[in-house]
Copies of this chain bind each other. A is one copy, B any other.
Amino acid sequence: MKLPDAAQLSQMPPFCRLGPAQLQNALDLAEVRHIAGGAMVFDEGQPVRRFNLLLSGHIRFLRLTDEGDQIIVLHIPAGQVFGIGVALGQVTHQVTAIAADDCVVLSWPNAVWPVFCGAYDGFAAETFRAFGARADEMSNRIVELSTKLVEQRVACALLRMIGQSGRKVAGGVEIGFPITRQNVADMTGATLHTVSRMLSVWERLGIVKSARCLIVVTDPHRLVKISGMANGDKIDGPTSIPPARYARLLQ
């Protein structure tokens, strides 16, 4: 549980181009929090007072409905800023942030935000970029929820998680933080029961191997096939446009 140092901070994308003195200065202004897995970082509706940087661990953004459902909107990996209502013009947090595993979080008061943005152009630019990625992920989720079957959505969710936080282990790639069937259900708009059945079948087929709060994908390729994404998602660059896409758009 040693305190974070400037070297560690300089690894984080928004800070990577700062000099040693600036890094130390940023550290001096920061509050360090060690957050246990499952604990809340901030809650939907709370006023935004500080903005945060996740040094290590994983944060889950979730929304709770009046009926008691919880929906996992995003997972934040280490190295990203989050809870930046100060930049987004939000007085209160729009989501609840919960530590998926043990986390180390730096935070600064809102007033520091413009200082950081002014310190060098890269800071705001890097944050913009991270936000573009999050917007893309959300738009992908909307497309999935609108068009895909539960089975495909679960496959997409697993692939997304091993893509963002996968850890190579013997015989496959495991999801880098504790995850329950219920969590997967909360990500895909399905029920615990359906997800459980699905993983059982996939385990029998040798596609995944799972245990309590742990999922290892042993055959990602087959999962991609199930997920039904041709390749259009997440791969950037000049992709050729499949003619079928225009079925309804053009006459």
Q: Number of copies of this chain in the oligomer?
A: 2
* A13 smallest CB distance to B (angstroms): 11
Binary interface profile of A, 203-246, with partner B (CB < 8 Å = 1, else 0)?
Answer: 00000000000000000000000000010100011110110111
From A49-57, A102-110, A134-142, A165-173, the one touching the partner chain is A134-142
Compute how far the CA of A246 lies from the CA of B47 in the bound complex, rounded to whole angstroms.
Answer: 19
* A47 smallest CB distance to B (angstroms): 7
Contact call B65/A245, Cβ cutoff below 8 A? yes
Compute how far the CA of A95 lies from the CA of B232 in the bound complex, rounded to whole angstroms.
Answer: 12
Taking CB atoms, residues of chain B closer than 8 Å to A188 are 146
Taking CB atoms, residues of chain B closer than 8 Å to A125 are 87, 89
Instruction: Output the residue of A68, A121, A146, A242 with the most chain B CB within 10 A.
Output: A146
Is A200 in contact with chain B by the CB < 8 A criterion? Answer: no
From A1-9, A18-26, A27-35, A69-77, the one touching the partner chain is A69-77
* A119 smallest CB distance to B (angstroms): 13
Taking CB atoms, residues of chain B closer than 8 Å to A133 are 88-89
Please, how many residues of chain A have a CB less than 8 angstroms from a CB on the other chain?
A: 61
Q: Which of B94, B135, B248 contacts A68 (CB 8 A)?
A: B248
Contact call B145/A92, Cβ cutoff below 8 A? no
Contact call B147/A69, Cβ cutoff below 8 A? yes
Contact call A45/B135, Cβ cutoff below 8 A? no
Known: A129-B89, A132-B88, A139-B94. A69 touches B146 (CB 8 A): yes
Binary interface profile of A, 56-92, with partner B (CB < 8 Å = 1, else 0)?
Answer: 0000000111111111010000000000010111111
* A155 smallest CB distance to B (angstroms): 15
Known: A64-B245, A132-B87, A145-B189. A139 touches B139 (CB 8 A): no
Is A249 in contact with chain B by the CB < 8 A criterion? Answer: yes
Compute how far the CA of A244 lies from the CA of B68 in the bound complex, rounded to whole angstroms.
Answer: 6
Is A120 in contact with chain B by the CB < 8 A criterion? Answer: no
Interfacial residues of chain A within 107-154, with CB under 8 A of chain B in the complex: 114, 117, 121, 124-125, 128-129, 131-136, 138-139, 141-143, 145-147
Taking CB atoms, residues of chain B closer than 8 Å to A47 are 238
Taking CB atoms, residues of chain B closer than 8 Å to A45 are 238-239, 241
Q: Give 8 nearest A-B pairs by CB, closest first.
A: A88-B132, A146-B189, A68-B247, A89-B129, A145-B145, A64-B245, A138-B138, A71-B146
